[in-house]
A and B are shown apart, each in its own frame.
Chain A
Amino acid sequence: MTEEVHHLPLMTSDIILERRRNSRIVQTGVCLVLVALVAWSVQVTIIDDTDWERMGSFANVLEATNRFIGIDFALFKDLIVPTIETFMIACLGTLLGVIICIPAAWFGAMNITPFKPVTYPIARMMMTLSRSIHEIVWALFFVAVVGLGALPGIFAIAVRSVGFIAKMSAEAIEDIDPGPVEAIRSVGGNNLQVLIYAILPQILPQVLGVIIFEWEINIRRSAILGLVGAGGLGLVFFRQMNTFNYHGVMTVIIAVLGLILLGEAVSHRVRRSII
């Protein structure tokens, strides 16, 4: 504070202008570097790497796009069961994710972690691991371990959702009002009682909101896990794609959109009624 006051009279207009000029030079430099990087990447990834011959003219591209437009009504009755499956995989995956989250959030919150040097890094690592690996990769791994079907999908979604839920819950726990914790402790409550009566009621609405938000994202995720053999709408999508039934592909996408819309509507309503 005093330093600031000290410097104030020295800030003549020349210095301000000089600084402004310098920062402008830096900004221009950064912009130029960015533009050069983008140009280089466009050159490498788009111009060099694309098979322009195969793509053909713009009309060909439009024609290829046009193949997708249309709905295969005959597919409707085959879509009901996979849609339900997708929805259920998302629900169970979220539930399992929440169960895995409990220790992760407990260890990952600075103020209640049992033994900071060991448990805190473990929880942080769990969160990073879960968030950085894509659900497709998780699904591949679980398909290799537990076989085809809905189970690997549930595991993949559970593991994938741990990161976000645990991170948000841990942050919620770190932000709680310490008063109730001290009150419960001062009347002789042990750690578990503190957790149940002082911490849980404070974080519950927030955490429920996060869980429902994650559930909504999980519906979106579970719709593609079938691509690698984990059941649901993804499997139908994959089959339609492989049999070049483009209208069927579009139908599946519309089913996915419908499911996601439903999830979004439910999540919106439930979150509003909680908060």
Chain B
Amino acid sequence: MNPNGTSTTEAPLVWSRYKFPDTFIRYASWITVFVFLAYCIEYLNIPLDRLFGMFGRMGDTLANRYYPPDIEYIMDGEYMEYVVETIQMAYLGALFGLIMTVPLGWCASYNMTPSRRYVYPVARLITMGCRAVHEMIWAILFVSILGFGMLPGVLALTFFCTGFAGKLFAEEIEAVDMGPVEAMRSTGANLFQAMAFGVFPQIRVAFTGIAIYTWDVAFRAATVVGFFGAGGMGWYLKRNVLQIETERVAAILISILVLVMISEAVSAWARNKAMEMK
């Protein structure tokens, strides 16, 4: 007998988290996603039956061709020079990108943009365009315009970093407390003053973090931007890939891995430091 006094012979209530139209939509969307994925496999002619044999072959290839890595090759002085160039390329690209980001992020933040109707969409479009085009495509375009060398690499990274940092920066500006800004505006400060004294102190730490992170990401991209002729280690990689010197390729990959791990550790340390200074 339950407290309400109704008989217990009624069908027990079935509890479910979602009611009819919701459940239907949920199941339908899951099924659509999976059917689409199955269709993708069909469309791209992926040999599912051979898939498991491939893993064995992958192991074979790794063991026979890529092992042992030719460590002596990357200990060479000339290679080290290229590593240094890669690092330089990365931070120049990140620096130029960040310099471009400051006005762009300002214009692309909805709350601080000088003109919501004209400047904001344009700035958003530029940021999005920079981000949407992959750094490799930028590199190829600049190589074809400016010729081989590190300048196209630096420019490609600049555009990449502009897109990457611009979005984060604009989001950071949009998240600030508007109180100080309004207070300043009401006492007659112009937009620039409000930006410099109302917004900038609030985003300073976040901007430092974004800058360090951008450098980290730029370095990762810089290791391969040379692949299409834009200088740095990528060119070494490409050469050895084309010559099928797989043991050297393995060594270069290991060097990239080590460098990226170092840069990641440095960037994590620097970001923690920046946070502490808050």
**Residues of A with Cβ closer than 8 Å to B?**
37-38, 40-42, 44-46, 49-51, 54-55, 61, 64-65, 68, 84-85, 88-89, 91-92, 95, 128-129, 131-134, 136-137, 140, 144-146, 149-151, 154, 220-221, 223-224, 227, 231, 237, 241, 249, 253, 256-257, 260-261
Contact = CB atoms under 8 A, between A and B. Distances in A.
Given A133-B257, A144-B61, A256-B133, A45 B92 contact: yes
B253 A44 contact: no
A91 B36 contact: yes
B134 A128 contact: no
Tell me if B's interface is mostly helix, strand, loop or mixed.
Answer: helix
A45 B37 contact: no
Given A44-B88, A137-B224, A154-B46, A223 B134 contact: yes
Nearest to A201: B17
B256 A132 contact: yes
11 contacts: A41-B89, A49-B150, A50-B147, A84-B43, A88-B43, A133-B256, A133-B260, A136-B224, A145-B57, A227-B228, A261-B132
Contacts of A55: 146-147
Contacts of B257: 128-129, 132-133
Given A227-B136, A237-B137, A133 B148 contact: no
B45 interface: yes
Contacts of A144: 61, 246
Nearest to A147: B54
Contact of B141 (A68, A129, A260): A68
B221 A134 contact: yes
Given A91-B36, A92-B37, A220-B132, A85 B253 contact: no
Interface of B: 36-37, 40-41, 43-47, 54, 57-58, 61, 85, 88-89, 91-92, 95, 129, 132-134, 136-137, 140-141, 144-151, 153-154, 220-221, 223-224, 227-228, 231, 237, 241, 246, 253, 256-257, 260-261, 264
B149 A92 contact: no
A92 B40 contact: yes
A122 to B, nearest CB: 16
A45 B150 contact: yes
Interface centre among A40, A41, A64, A257 (most CB of B within 10 A): A41
Contacts of B91: 37-38, 41
B50 to A, nearest CB: 9
B58 A44 contact: no
A134 B228 CA distance: 14
Given A45-B231, A54-B147, A150-B46, 5 more contacts: A38-B91, A44-B88, A84-B43, A227-B140, A253-B137
A144 to B, nearest CB: 7
Nearest to A221: B134
Contact of B129 (A129, A151, A227, A257): A257
